[in-house]
Amino acid sequence: MLLSKEDKRAVIFYLCICVVFMQAGFYASRRSASPYSAPRTDSQWTLPFTKSQTVLKDHPIPQLMAEAEEHFKQMLSRQSKSLKKAVAEYKRRYGRNPPKGFDQWWDFAQKHDVKIIDDYDAVFEDLSPFWDMSGEEFRARADVAGALPNINVVQIRSGEPTVVNQRPGFNKDDVSVRAKGFIWMIKKFQHLLPDLDFPVNTMAEGRILVPWEHQKEPNLTVQYTAEKSVQPPSTLYTPDWRGNGDVWEAYRRTCPPTTAARRLFNSLRAPSVNRALSVLPGSSHPGDQFSFTTELDGNYPFCDNPWAHYLHGHFFSDWRTLPVLFPVFSPSKAPGYSDIRVPSHYYYGTSRRYTYGWDEVNLELKEIDHMETPWERKTDKIFWRGATTGGGSSPPGFAPQYHRQRFVQMASSRTTNKRNIVFADPPRSSSYHTAEVSMNDLNDDIMDVAFVKAVDFYNYPGGYEGYVTDHRFDEGVFLGDHWRHKFLVDLDGMSYSGRFFAFLESDSAVIKSSVHREFYSDWLQPWLHYIPLSNSYQEIYNIHAFFSGATDATLRVANSTSLEVPQEERRSVDGDRRLKRIARAGKQWRKTFGRKEDMEAYMYRLCLEYARLWADDREAMSFSL
């Protein structure tokens, strides 16, 4: 039977309605999933969920700390002690000879007492995709990248570097501090490098998102090149999304076709902010509050868990990503990005906002910051201050669930919703109990978290009034004001956090949450140098309970006689000593493995590898004993 046009339209409309309701049912079935902690893996420790006042045996944090220390010791002990062993280890790890100049790099590392000799897997990982293309193709891509928006080029000619903006219509001296920082870090060895061009990202956010289908196409850029006059697709000239697409749509195309992110209905935008927030862990999964991650979420599988992207502002950046494998140097990258990591200029340079110990009056760097506070006088509060940065507005309307906004909302919540707290009772014992404590009371006892500035508040629902209604705001603080607290929270901004090295160098313990990976990611050990925090943030209350003991509110709920014990005596078994150990280990790492010399050694090694890719004869650019 033939259908009329009207009947056909009715059938199509009916099918669309069915699909919508099927998707709604599917989404509802996933709402109970915890986006940043499920599915659980071996990289998490979880205490069993128990009701109030059930005694628990042992706490996972001491074992996490012991394993972290042993892992780091093993990493240091296996570093090569001679050039011959370093070459052999390089060949074992990467299956090829080191790059030309490796012997000079070795001498540089020895001269500057660089202790990390072999663990440069980040360099290998970032450059590996470019080995599938020829030197000519590699240079062509660098040439293309140099003409794109928000890209500067560091050029080395006869051992001398300059930085320029190659975009038509721009002043060649209109360059970013990130490109200038690149030059600062290669100054000691620039004369040993061949002529090269380094496209440097001027933005903090990663830029390179290559669709899965194009990740193995070595000659993609050649079609954009004619007589060495680079003409990339017109869409790549657009510096921002301008309402035409967004980061998540670009990101999910990097995922394999079989993943949830590539299935259209799984990846649809949430119909409302409240619906997206409903997948947050905690309310439906109290066990997440007892889960302690052993790593940051720099490798989180967003492709398999697309709903999790709603909870991080990184996926709503205004700045356009690039869908071609260009060699672009950036200070960090989230999982799925193909940027080449370099140390941040914030870490290498000195400034009032980002450098521990910087005396801006005398313009000198001091060993101890003049605002540093002795450990015994630091508060037990969990401290964070920052601006409302952390995400763009493409698409608009999602700001309430960005990572910073979620954290401030949680830490300043006045609700009576409960958190399950694990605590030692009696104090200084190894007998652990649980109690359900209201968020309002917990936040009063342990949180000192607030925004200091509303940036782009017009993108927030309700504008400025909406922001101040939903979040705590306080006056701005100096960097040195952070040192008055034992717990410093470090959160992503628009990309990585530029304050992390300053926090490490203080005598405070850093609680860090991030989806970004940086140059040092393989050198720094969680639970030894800092406390890792999942992007759900749910475990932070139990982190505090272990190190600083039960709060008044917790003991009241538990009807504990320990309420009569002074606060300074309520800490769990050597909790304060362990917290201080993490603070001191972070400081020691910064002074031993995170020095300028270590960043220079990283850059030197990266430049040698880059120079080999740049060459037509890569074998001639290799080193062998």
Q: Give the residue ranges of DSSP H helices in 367-486.
A: 403-411, 439-446, 463-470
CA distances for 347 relative to 23, 181, 190, 522, angstroms: 46, 10, 20, 17
Write out pLDDT tens, residues 55-102. Answer: 667 889 999 999 999 999 999 999 999 999 999 999 999 999 999 999
Distance CA 522, CA 121 (A): 8
Q: Which neighbouring-strand residues pair with 364?
A: 359
User: Position of tokens 């760097």?
Assistant: 365
* DSSP 8-state class, residue 580: H
Q: Which two structure tokens, joined as six digits, stand for 112?
A: 């500057």
Q: Give the residue ranges of DSSP H helices in 135-280.
A: 135-146, 177-186, 247-252, 273-277
Distance CA 238, CA 321 (A): 10
Residue ranges in the chain modelled with pLDDT below 50: 1-3, 8, 10-43, 48-52, 221-222, 224-231, 233-234, 269-287
User: Position of tokens 């992207």?
Assistant: 309
Please give the single-letter amino acid code of residue 197: D
SS3 482: helix
SS3 82: coil
Q: Which two structure tokens, joined as six digits, stand for 503?
A: 């926090």
Q: What is the dihedral of CA 126, 131, 137, 139, to 10 degrees?
A: 50
The CA-CA-CA angle for residues 46, 50, 56, to 5°, reads 70
Secondary structure tally for the chain: helices H, strands E: 18, 19
Write out pLDDT tens, residues 180-212. Answer: 999 999 999 999 999 999 999 999 999 999 999
| Per-residue pLDDT at 390 | 85
| Per-residue pLDDT at 229 | 43
Answer for the pair 340, 126: CB distance below 8 angstroms, yes or no. yes
Whole-structure pTM value? 0.88
| Per-residue pLDDT at 1 | 46
* DSSP 8-state class, residue 96: S
Helices 540-548 and 439-446 sit at what angle, rounded to 10 degrees?
A: 50
